């Protein structure tokens, strides 16, 4: 078995299919992470360096098509749709929205692996990870690849939660985000609408950036 460097995200709510895909990937030496919902997939994409995504369309919270559109706003990572929907209309729509490939259920392990190998070959041809890695707004810069934040070229040390919050803002520049949406994205769906924790998190970030600016002014 060959050990591979790529990390694959499997987005699938059907545990039987998910287990089948996991098993197939393991046999080929791939590392993977699983998500059973669209929200889970999006938060995993923020916190992990994913190289390729296998995406089911019929997900319990919202449609996989929405995941494709959202991810394409900020990343060009390969997306292979794995769906029971076999209508040409669905396939065309997924590809038009930015999916790279479309595999109809049921499928064999051999076919799935072949499609993954093709996607990974394209990924490497395009120069490794195609994710847009650095985003900047004014003096604030974020390196999604290294998970580092810079303010006026000095590194701003952030906790994982602070980093998630900042990267969420960066990926949604120019958009108004509701507090409930932010809480759900940062803390997960089970967190309700407790704004207290979010306020504390933002205050902490503000203090840090103020300190970084001050030390800059002195030096």
Instruction: By CB under 5 A, name the binding residues for Ca ion.
Output: 13, 56, 58
- Comparing CA positions, the residue from 40, 28, 34, 27 lying closest to residue 8 is 34
CB of 45 to Ca ion, least distance (A): 18
Q: Are 58 and 36 in contact (CB under 8 A)?
A: no
Residue nearer to Ca ion on the CB measure, 24 or 212: 24
Strand pairing report for 101-104 and 134-137: unpaired
Q: Are 198 and 191 in contact (CB under 8 A)?
A: no
| DSSP of 96-144 | HTT-SEEEESS--HHHHHHHHHHHHHHHHHTTS--S--EEEETTEEEET
CB of 13 to Ca ion, least distance (A): 5
CB of 208 to Ca ion, least distance (A): 41
Q: Are 32 and 25 in contact (CB under 8 A)?
A: yes
CB of 61 to Ca ion, least distance (A): 11
CB of 11 to Ca ion, least distance (A): 9
Residue nearer to Ca ion on the CB measure, 55 or 77: 55
Residue nearer to Ca ion on the CB measure, 6 or 56: 56
| d(C-alpha 16, C-alpha 190), whole Å | 24
User: Which tokens belong to 145?
Assistant: 């690849």
Residue nearer to Ca ion on the CB measure, 85 or 171: 85
CB of 97 to Ca ion, least distance (A): 18
Alpha-helix runs per DSSP H in 172-194: 179-187
Residue nearer to Ca ion on the CB measure, 13 or 28: 13
Report which residue's Cβ sits closest to Ca ion. Answer: 58
Residue nearer to Ca ion on the CB measure, 23 or 62: 62
């Amino acid at each position: 078995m060959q050990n591979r460097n790529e990390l694959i995200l499997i987005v699938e709510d059907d545990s039987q299919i998910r287990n089948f895909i996991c098993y197939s990937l393991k046999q080929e030496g791939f590392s993977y992470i699983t998500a059973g919902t669209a929200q889970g997939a999006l938060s995993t994409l923020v916190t992990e360096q994913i190289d390729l995504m296998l995406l089911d369309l019929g997900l319990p919270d919202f449609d996989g098509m929405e995941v494709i559109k959202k991810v394409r706003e900020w990343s060009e990572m390969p997306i292979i749709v794995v769906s029971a929907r076999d209508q040409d209309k669905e396939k065309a729509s997924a590809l038009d929205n930015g999916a790279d490939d479309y595999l109809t259920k049921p499928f064999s392990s051999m076919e799935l692996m072949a499609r993954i190998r093709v996607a990974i070959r394209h990924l490497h041809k395009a120069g490794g990870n195609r994710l847009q890695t650095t985003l900047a707004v004014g003096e604030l810069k974020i390196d999604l690849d290294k998970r580092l934040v810079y303010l006026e070229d000095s590194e701003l040390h952030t906790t994982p939660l602070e980093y998630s919050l900042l990267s969420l803002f960066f990926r949604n520049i120019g958009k108004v985000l509701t507090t409930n949406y932010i809480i759900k994205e940062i803390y997960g769906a089970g967190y309700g609408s407790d704004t207290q924790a979010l306020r504390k998190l933002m205050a902490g970030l503000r203090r840090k950036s103020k300190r970084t600016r001050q030390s800059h002014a002195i030096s």
